[in-house]
Amino acid sequence: MMKLNLSDIRYNWVVIFIIQLLLSPGIDVFSQAMPVDTVYNQSYDWRPGQRETLPEWVFASQRKGRVVGISDPRMKSEAARMLALQRAAYLYSLQQGVQLRLLSDVFSTMETASNTYEDQRNKMLVLGVIEHPVQHVSYRIEHEYTSIFGEKFLEVSFTPSNDSCDFSYHFVSELMLLFTKERVEEEEVKFNLLLESDSCREQSDQSWFQLKGTQSSPQIISYMNGVEICSSQEGCWYEDAGFGGQDGLEKMDMRNAFWNAYMSSLVKALLLYPFSDVNVKQVDDRFNGGTDSGCGLYREKVVAVLSIFPFIKDIRNNKLCVDWQITEQQNIIRK
């Protein structure tokens, strides 16, 4: 039997991340937040089932340095534009290259009774974090569009800049997956994105987005400068658009708006990505008695620099299809 020395793989960031993501409820970030009001929210009326037709440039292949950022629905125009710009800057950074730190714990058991019936149980916990330092960029808005739901779509071109007065930003994004399989499979996903930006204005802007729950029934929380952005109760519906023929890619429900489906797709792509080099620690125990049982526990750890380039392919039956092209620029294993 091998002994697993946890001290070899215990990072400070892991401890901090687990405390942040699992022990704190997340919403405490804005425990002193202002009540929901009309500072950033605006009422948009549409008929139930009414469908939005998005412009073609949303689906056009984006060149490097050019991305499409999307705000939440039901926002006032200026606030929606700033939120869409922040999110475009986040996607721009993913293109340029970011460091992902990922930790996975997998536990499985297999029991075989005298009648040869096998009972298998699996549990997996995945924790990941991407933190990007302050970046200074200049930008140009190439296209702008507001949907019937109040979402702001911006196609933005970014270039690096030494002028901190133009536009500066940084972000932290975290993801968690908890998967269990006993009699049935259960999966819980959590994704946090904190964005802060500054320009020549006196006030900086901060947004916070959280997606949690399951892929089929997500819960969405979104804030702008401490004010909650009201979600749509009617649901968002979009006309079919794009290129089609993407049967091999994951499709995400869009009833909770475009950005939510977009981020759900990103989380799925990161969790399924086959890293080229993974550091694995493993311990195996076997016990013989009335039944033959096996127990396996192993931990996978990756620190990698990734370039993440999204291609928004199409919308079919109110489901979004995105081809996330992920490339490992560098792979770092730390003990």
Cβ count near 280 (within 10 Å): 10
Query: In terms of C-beta density within 10 A (0-12 exposed, 13-18 middle, 19 or more buried), how is residue 272 classed?
Result: exposed
The pLDDT, as a whole number, for residue 326 is 93
Q: How far apart are CA 25 and CA 334, in angstroms?
A: 30
Q: Is pLDDT at 17 greater than 70 in this prediction?
A: no
Q: State the pairing for strand pair 237-238/51-52.
A: parallel
Residue where the block lists tokens 């990941």: 128
CB half-sphere exposure, 58, CA atoms < 13 A: 26
**By the 8 A CB rule, do 34 and 226 touch?**
yes
Residue where the block lists tokens 């995400």: 252
List of residues 6+ apart from 136 with CB closer than 8 A: 160, 161, 162, 163, 164, 166, 167, 168
pLDDT single digits (tens) 30-51: 434 444 456 888 877 777 778 9
Q: Is pLDDT at 9 greater than 50 in this prediction?
A: no
The pLDDT, as a whole number, for residue 108 is 76
Give residue 218's pLDDT band: very low, low, confident or very high (50, 70, 90): confident
Q: How far apart are CA 18 and CA 74, in angstroms?
A: 33
282: amino acid identity, one letter: Q
Which tokens is 299 given? 């931990």
**By the 8 A CB rule, do 310 and 321 touch?**
no
Per the rule left: phi > 0, alpha: psi between -120 and 50, beta: everything else, 85 is alpha
Dmax over Cα atoms in the chain, in whole Å?
74
In DSSP notation, 160-173 reads E-S-TTTEEEEEEE
User: Does an H or E element contain 302, and which?
Assistant: strand 292-316
Per the rule left: phi > 0, alpha: psi between -120 and 50, beta: everything else, 257 is left
pTM for the predicted model, two decimal places: 0.81
User: What are the CA-CA distances from residue 5 to residues 252, 281, 283, 298 (Å)?
Assistant: 40, 9, 10, 12
Which tokens is 246 given? 């993407």
3-class DSSP assignment, residue 222? strand
Q: Give the pLDDT mean for 270-274.
A: 89
pLDDT single digits (tens) 115-161: 555 566 788 889 999 988 899 999 999 999 999 999 999 999 999 98
Q: How far apart are CA 73 and CA 152, in angstroms?
A: 8
Q: Is pLDDT at 57 greater than 50 in this prediction?
A: yes
Report the length, in residues, of the chain.
335
Q: How far apart are CA 168 and CA 201, in angstroms?
A: 11
Mean pLDDT for the chain? 80
Q: Is pLDDT at 289 greater than 90 in this prediction?
A: no
pLDDT single digits (tens) 154-210: 999 999 988 767 899 999 999 998 888 766 677 888 999 999 999 876 678 999 999
**By the 8 A CB rule, do 299 and 279 touch?**
no
The pLDDT, as a whole number, for residue 149 is 93
The pLDDT, as a whole number, for residue 293 is 54
CB half-sphere exposure, 183, CA atoms < 13 A: 0
Of 107, 56, 50, 98, residue with least CA distance to 73: 50
CB half-sphere exposure, 171, CA atoms < 13 A: 25
**By the 8 A CB rule, do 136 and 164 touch?**
yes
Cβ count near 82 (within 10 Å): 22
pLDDT single digits (tens) 293-326: 556 777 888 899 999 999 888 999 999 999 999 9
